[in-house]
A and B are shown apart, each in its own frame.
Chain A
């Protein structure tokens, strides 16, 4: 057990973080080059003011018409994404790791809050899965990969939750938590989870076209 722990927090962590960071840089470089070479309009019509206007507007809960048409989805989606980012970054245990390994220390959130956020993420994944089954227009465009993505995202949170509360075998849960987290990180650049970095780009371009060229709102 100890050997596995050392391996996944040592070499494997380096590997997964490297794939995550390099993978994202690769995708960003690739898409920028592709825009330059074969999709000139994207860079030519880019407009910072309207790009930011669109991005900021869509970050406001209930700011757009469609968010108001789907209030439950809006609440779940916002709390899910906020929790998904905030909990792992500002969790005390994670910050301690940063400090131990690299001497970097930053702000943390109380464990109680992190705990609730973890539940929000897991519940969010369940909500999205149920939505895929019961709403027919979502079901129609759902493939097995969509469920896999949800499992991929939920796993580190599920095992993290179990480890924190020391349910089942603590060490096993911890190892599964770390391992699933590393798999998630490494897969982000190469699955539709890449929307984490592409979403602002798409929004920026759409915002530029709507605001800068078409003089219309896009929300």
Chain B
């Protein structure tokens, strides 16, 4: 039967999950589940559970479901059935096997992209329910090894990639040095009090995508922006704790990030091209801290580029020749509505723009977000086979360049492009801008 075969092929050995469930006892499972359900959930969960009429219409939204030939175990409501319904039905008295399976589903078979909210006739937030499952798993100590390692890094260093304090400053100075070959007067100002903009990035930028810092510095410099970066922890705006379910740690991270900006008395924060970090600063982390809005304005790189372009600070020197398509990241499109601004920037810098379908709020997820790519190599194929539909969508554009203004999307799309042999090249919006902008100070 359908159900059993898919369950078997989904069995994956993850050291973190296995080690976690080994320590569990039935009493502990029941206690933790009921603590979370009784103390941390309320009106939303009650309304969602009682309103859902099990119609299955949300299925249409999910890339996992569509990529697995409409296998019901991957439909959004199907995943809720195997996780939240299961623990509610048994009032927390579930086996370690159920927890292991629920953890695998919640952490690696849902990207929390919220596309299904737009397909449910009631608008039920299914990703929220999956997040509750993750919260329970975190409290039970059942988390995938790789993403838990990034959470440990957050906890110990306040950044995602075990970057040490001096390594961070070194990386920035290294990029400043490099960039001064091209633009002699370029600076990456550190700790500049009262600057207009604090620029924050995610851990992977200094770790292995350092050229993005270079490019951002060039854009800031050439657009004449009064900016700074912090020399202290708090420079990393990323947040894997939000995805493991460790909300206490999420709160620590967001507080330090915002407080670093406040310490430097900047007017606002601009963050790099990252989607999940935007969700964390704009939607999730601030709320956990009890801030309805942000204590200091924060905008995503896409919005910043759009502003610079419209203020005439960013000028187009030449158009990008090759045809390009644009991938809408969930966290800044369904999460912030930046799809039109992004298109305006793309169209300003590119000669030939081809839409992929569906697009904007309805775009298919990259299958990397929601912390899934951070669950590491054991789940690489989960992401790739779980998003065949994305490969088909990309292929149908017929173009060879995909712009995706989000780190997670890059990771996810990169794997899909290679596995399905699409021969496409991935770019950040910053890559295109850097290549095509006017650089008045360049030698």
Instruction: Identify the interface centre among B42, B287, B337, B361: most chain A CB within 10 Å of its CB.
Output: B42
A41 and B287 within 8 A (CB): yes
Instruction: Report Cα–Cα, A105/B91, bound state, in Å.
Output: 48
A219 and B118 within 8 A (CB): yes
Minimum CB distance partner of A209 in chain B: B125
Cβ–Cβ < 8 Å partners of A73 in chain B: 57
Cβ–Cβ < 8 Å partners of B292 in chain A: 44-45
Q: In this assembly, does A199 line the interface, its C-beta being within 8 Å of a C-beta of chain B?
A: yes
The contact of A38 among B42, B333, B335, B361, by CB within 8 Å, is B42
Q: In this assembly, does A75 line the interface, its C-beta being within 8 Å of a C-beta of chain B?
A: no
With A66-B119, A139-B72 as known contacts, state yes or no: A215 contacts B54, CB within 8 Å.
no
A-B contact count (CB 8 A): 143
Q: In this assembly, does A201 line the interface, its C-beta being within 8 Å of a C-beta of chain B?
A: yes
B126 to chain A, nearest CB (A): 11
A206 and B72 within 8 A (CB): no
A192-219 interface with B by 8 A CB criterion? 192, 194-195, 198-199, 201-203, 205-207, 209-210, 213-219
Instruction: Report Cα–Cα, A6/B267, bound state, in Å.
Output: 75
The contact of B47 among A136, A142, A201, A213, by CB within 8 Å, is A201
With A137-B72, A137-B75, A194-B50 as known contacts, state yes or no: A35 contacts B333, CB within 8 Å.
no
Q: In this assembly, does A174 line the interface, its C-beta being within 8 Å of a C-beta of chain B?
A: no
Cβ–Cβ < 8 Å partners of B336 in chain A: 214-216
Instruction: Report Cα–Cα, A28/B202, bound state, in Å.
Output: 43
Q: In this assembly, does A138 line the interface, its C-beta being within 8 Å of a C-beta of chain B?
A: yes
Cβ–Cβ < 8 Å partners of A56 in chain B: none
Cβ–Cβ < 8 Å partners of A192 in chain B: 50-54
With A65-B118, A141-B54, A216-B361 as known contacts, state yes or no: A31 contacts B46, CB within 8 Å.
yes
The contact of B337 among A66, A135, A216, by CB within 8 Å, is A216
Instruction: Identify the interface centre among B40, B52, B53, B287: most chain A CB within 10 Å of its CB.
Output: B53
B151 to chain A, nearest CB (A): 23
B122 and A202 within 8 A (CB): yes
Instruction: Identify the interface centre among B77, B123, B287: most chain A CB within 10 Å of its CB.
Output: B123
Q: In this assembly, does B83 line the interface, its C-beta being within 8 Å of a C-beta of chain A?
A: no
Instruction: Report Cα–Cα, A150/B53, bound state, in Å.
Output: 11
Cβ–Cβ < 8 Å partners of A206 in chain B: 117, 122-125
B59 and A31 within 8 A (CB): no
B53 to chain A, nearest CB (A): 6
Q: In this assembly, does B141 line the interface, its C-beta being within 8 Å of a C-beta of chain A?
A: no
Instruction: Report Cα–Cα, A70/B119, bound state, in Å.
Output: 11
Question: Mind listing 12 A-B residue pairs with CB under 8 Å?
Answer: A42-B44, A58-B121, A69-B60, A137-B77, A137-B78, A138-B55, A141-B77, A142-B54, A192-B52, A202-B48, A215-B337, A219-B118
Known: A137-B78, A205-B44, A215-B337. 6 other contacts (CB 8 A): A65-B362, A66-B57, A142-B54, A195-B50, A202-B48, A206-B123
| A-to-B contact residues, CB < 8 Å | 31-32, 34-35, 37-39, 41-42, 44-45, 54, 58, 64-66, 69-70, 73, 77, 135-143, 146, 149, 192, 194-195, 198-199, 201-203, 205-207, 209-210, 213-219
